[in-house]
Homo-oligomer: A and B are copies of this chain.
Amino acid sequence: MDRTKVAQLFAQMDELGGSEVTVAGWVRSIRDMKNFGFVVLNDGSCFKDVQVVMNREKVANYDQVTTLTVGSALVVTGTLALTPDRPQPFELQAAEVVIEGAARPDYPMQKKRQSREFLRTQQHLRSRTNLFRAVFRVRSVAAFAIHQFFQGRGFVYVNTPIITASDAEGAGEMFRVTTIDPANPPLTEDGKVDYSRDFFGKATNLTVSGQLQGENFAMSFGDVYTFGPTFRAENSNTRRHAAEFWMVEPEMAFCDLAGEMDVSEEMLKYVITYVMDRCPDEIDMLNSFVDKGLRERLSHVASSDFARVSYTDAVSILQEAQAAGATFEYPVEWGVDLQTEHERYLTERHFRRPTFVTDYPAAIKAFYMRQNDDGKTVAAADCLVPGIGEIIGGSQREERLDVLERRIAELGMDVGQYKYYLDLRRYGSCRHAGFGLGFERLVMYLTGVDNIRDVIPHPRTVGNADF
């Protein structure tokens, strides 16, 4: 079909004005004014619609077309007429309208405003609404911005495995991946389930992080990143948790914590700027109808120098704030992890810009983080942003074989499971660092949408795997 996309009409209206074009899309509204009819059509190529004008005398099936309802698919051929004195810059004066597929009148996506809860039951159709068209285009553009950022800096994209026999962090509840029939599992002689007869010859799970395998590749390519799905079988039914979500995990050789923070900061600014630049109509819509502070907050983050403060100093700041009258639900004392309320206080009220909190107590961070000389803290850095709290968690990794082995033993972890990881410290170890960005958290931040279920095409949460 030789058609012109609506995005192209807007991009090239000066050249195309006056000429005949064919547009294919879906009806957003239809009005019959007796001798003239108006159809607002959207083809998904951009946020904007095209207005089709039908002259009853010129469009042979005028009466049939005007009985159509919202959601119907049309192919319209006509003249693109520039209309500089109207709100929309042009209209399509129809010569021929072909009905590609009518929508039945019980179409659930009617023009009236639907609740997000209802729309979650219509995941196959909700991307036809303004809100979800904005969200999912921003998601796509942000994903590309991430690839572009890293590829432009020479990072190698690595697809770490989804199915794994290990647990990257020694924590986190995992989904089992199996071909064993639980109605009739093979058993060992002592009556246990015999995973040696499972598909992979052992028990396997869905990955919770690609970091450890990412490190394998950082030790050959220097700079690498992953960008793929990760999983948590946590029974938490909150606005911020999904069982399946995408993570970006860069890993950089010959890089310390300061270098890691530099790259995180640059990346966030790059993605925000890219999305604001490429999705102005979507950001407009989100700023008007979802979160009135969105554009300002994004511009602010893109143009700020991020603050950097140690965990120890951050705790002092929070304690001083308490002494001065601030109230927190959770206690603030050295050794306890920061809660979202604390993170937001630091970034929104104290520093008033994105803030890295560094050098957390070792006890509340993962085993692979590099121990500082004080013997108490590790070289971790969480990036906090206004409006959300933590968005990125990073650290310098422990590159010293003896220190790492001691830490694994201290934590009672199975050192045998980490043979490959330790090998990286045996053969040409070097300082290195990396971070993890929860991609859905970023999309929530970019769109102002406050429920993770509304930034994932088909979200998976406890009790929910429809579509």
Question: In the assembled complex, which residues on chain B have CB atoms less than 8 Å from the CB atom of A202?
Answer: 465
Q: Please state if B102 and A428 are interface contacts (CB–CB under 8 Å).
A: yes
Interchain CA distance A108-B143 in the complex, whole Å: 37
Question: In the assembled complex, which residues on chain B have CB atoms less than 8 Å from the CB atom of A216?
Answer: 123-125, 127, 457, 467
Interchain CA distance A98-B175 in the complex, whole Å: 45
Q: Which of B177, B213, B457 contacts A458 (CB 8 A)?
A: B213
A211 at interface (Cβ–Cβ under 8 A)? no
Which of A12-20, A48-56, A251-259, A386-394 faces chain B? Answer: A251-259
Q: Which of B151, B154, B185, B458 contacts A45 (CB 8 A)?
A: B154
Q: Please state if B254 and A24 are interface contacts (CB–CB under 8 Å).
A: yes
Question: In the assembled complex, which residues on chain B have CB atoms less than 8 Å from the CB atom of A429?
Answer: 73, 100-101
Question: In the assembled complex, which residues on chain B have CB atoms less than 8 Å from the CB atom of A463?
Answer: 199-201
Within 8 A of B (CB), among A197-237: 199-202, 204, 206, 213, 216-217, 219-223, 228-229, 231, 233, 235
Question: In the assembled complex, which residues on chain B have CB atoms less than 8 Å from the CB atom of A426?
Answer: 103-104, 107
Which B residue sits closest to A466, measured CB to CB?
Answer: B165
Q: Please state if B157 and A144 are interface contacts (CB–CB under 8 Å).
A: yes
A263 at interface (Cβ–Cβ under 8 A)? no
Contact with B along A372-399 (1 / 0, CB 8 A): 0000000000000000000000000001
Copies in the complex: 2
Within 8 A of B (CB), among A133-168: 133, 136-137, 139-141, 143-144, 147, 151, 154, 156-165
Q: Please state if B156 and A256 are interface contacts (CB–CB under 8 Å).
A: no
A179 at interface (Cβ–Cβ under 8 A)? yes
Interface centre among A25, A133, A161 (most CB of B within 10 A): A161
Q: Please state if A200 and B428 are interface contacts (CB–CB under 8 Å).
A: no
Q: Please state if B464 and A7 are interface contacts (CB–CB under 8 Å).
A: no
Interchain CA distance A108-B217 in the complex, whole Å: 16
Q: Please state if A213 and B102 are interface contacts (CB–CB under 8 Å).
A: no
A454 at interface (Cβ–Cβ under 8 A)? no
Q: Which of B25, B163, B425, B464 contacts A460 (CB 8 A)?
A: B163
Return A457 CB to nearest CB of chain B, in Å. 6
Question: In the assembled complex, which residues on chain B have CB atoms less than 8 Å from the CB atom of A73?
Answer: 254, 428-430
Which B residue sits closest to A142, measured CB to CB?
Answer: B157
Q: Please state if B156 and A100 are interface contacts (CB–CB under 8 Å).
A: no
Question: In the assembled complex, which residues on chain B have CB atoms less than 8 Å from the CB atom of A243?
Answer: 163, 199-200
A27 at interface (Cβ–Cβ under 8 A)? yes
| A-B contact sample (5 more), CB < 8 A, given A44-B221, A101-B425 | A1-B256, A24-B254, A75-B254, A125-B220, A133-B221
| Chain A residues within 8 Å of B, Cβ to Cβ | 1, 3, 5, 7, 24-27, 43-46, 71-73, 75, 100-104, 107-109, 123-125, 127-128, 132-133, 136-137, 139-141, 143-144, 147, 151, 154, 156-165, 173, 175-180, 182-183, 185, 192-193, 199-202, 204, 206, 213, 216-217, 219-223, 228-229, 231, 233, 235, 243-244, 246, 253-256, 259, 399, 420-421, 423-431, 456-458, 460, 462-467
